[in-house]
Structure formats: C-alpha cells, structure tokens
Amino acid sequence: MTAERWSEILDQVSDQDIALQGWQSIKSHTLGEFIKLSNALEKKDLNFIIDKYFTLARKWYQRPKMPTLWEVAVRLKWLFKEFEDVNKFFEGLQIKQDADEKQAGNGINFLNPYVSMLIFAQQKFFLHSLEDAEKVKLSEYMAMKKNETDGIKYQRNLQKIYQQKHQTKQPKK
C-alpha cells in the first residue's frame, strides 16, 4: 500500500477511536524496541512498522488471523501519537547550552542519539553491555533521564546563585 493511501486512511482515525482501545503505553516497551521503531518512523517505513509491530497483533486481538486494515490504522495512529508524546518529553529535557558549552562542542562528532541513549542506560543502570541496555524499559530510561536532567539544572541554578552572591559581596572600588 502506498504512503499516500495510508495517509488517507490514518486521517480518518479519530482520537476517540484511539482512546477507546485502552492499549498499554509504548513506554512499557524496551529501549531496543523503541529505537527500532523510531528509526522506521524517521524513514517513514510503514511496512517495517506494520511487519515488526503487528507480529504481536494475533496476541493483542487474541485471534488467529491478522487484524483488519482499520485495526492496523487505529494502532498506527496510536503509535504515532505515543511517539509524539515521548518526543515532547525528551524535548522538555533539553538543557540550553551557553556560549562556552557550544564552543567546547565545536569539532566533536557526537554519537548518534540512539547510541547515546543506550550508553546512558548502560552507565546509569550499571549494565555490562549495550545489548543489556536495549532491554531496559523506556519508562525506566525516561525516569532516569529526567532525574539526571533535573540534577544538572539544579547544579546550574545553584552555581548561578553562588556567583550572584559572590559578586554582591565583592567590595566596590
């Protein structure tokens, strides 16, 4: 099926259609599953998403046959909304770099964001490999990332307070 045809079908799916399903959040999936689906979404590879994600369809719908086109469309629309929510969460965690930090990053080729996610999970959860990190639940990763970001913001705010106090205590010349 073409991307245009999928787009037409997905446009017919309402938020109410999705809300009635009561599916478990994508946040209960593993980091590895999230990364694979993210890559497919970025490439707009709906066939991969359907093949990969809907292999579980028989279990979800508790029947031997594959879901109908409408059921797939509703599930895809739900999946897109879930990814949008997760992306908004991560965007909210971004810390604005100051000029010195931007300059410090010049010339550095940082890792792919998905590899960075796995390395973060490996280090913060004290795992032995990136393979182990792929098995971490997305919700657990998000909680750890939020905690880490809050700690960084706290330290920066505290540093600003100390700097302001230090500047006000300086004798005027």
86-132 pLDDT, tens digit per residue, is 999 999 999 988 888 889 989 999 899 999 999 999 999 999 999 99
Does 32 score more than 60 pLDDT? yes
Q: What is the pTM of this model?
A: 0.78
How high is the pLDDT of residue 157? 92
Does 135 score more than 90 pLDDT? yes
Does 44 score more than 90 pLDDT? no
Measured distance CA(119)–CA(149) in Å, rounded? 16
Residue the block writes with tokens 């998000």: 142
How high is the pLDDT of residue 62? 59
Position 153 confidence tier, pLDDT thresholds 50, 70, 90: very high
Residue the block writes with tokens 């369809």: 57
How high is the pLDDT of residue 64? 59
How high is the pLDDT of residue 85? 92
Picking from 143, 117, 147, the residue whose alpha carbon sits closest to that of residue 130 is 117
Position 80 confidence tier, pLDDT thresholds 50, 70, 90: confident
Picking from 106, 136, 103, the residue whose alpha carbon sits closest to that of residue 121 is 136
Measured distance CA(14)–CA(32) in Å, rounded? 29
Question: Dmax over Cα atoms in the chain, in whole Å?
Answer: 84
Does 54 score more than 80 pLDDT? no
Position 46 confidence tier, pLDDT thresholds 50, 70, 90: confident
How high is the pLDDT of residue 171? 65
Does 57 score more than 60 pLDDT? no
Tell me what the pLDDT averaged over the chain comes to: 83
How high is the pLDDT of residue 27? 87
CA torsion, points 109, 112, 113, 114, in degrees to nearest 10?
A: -160
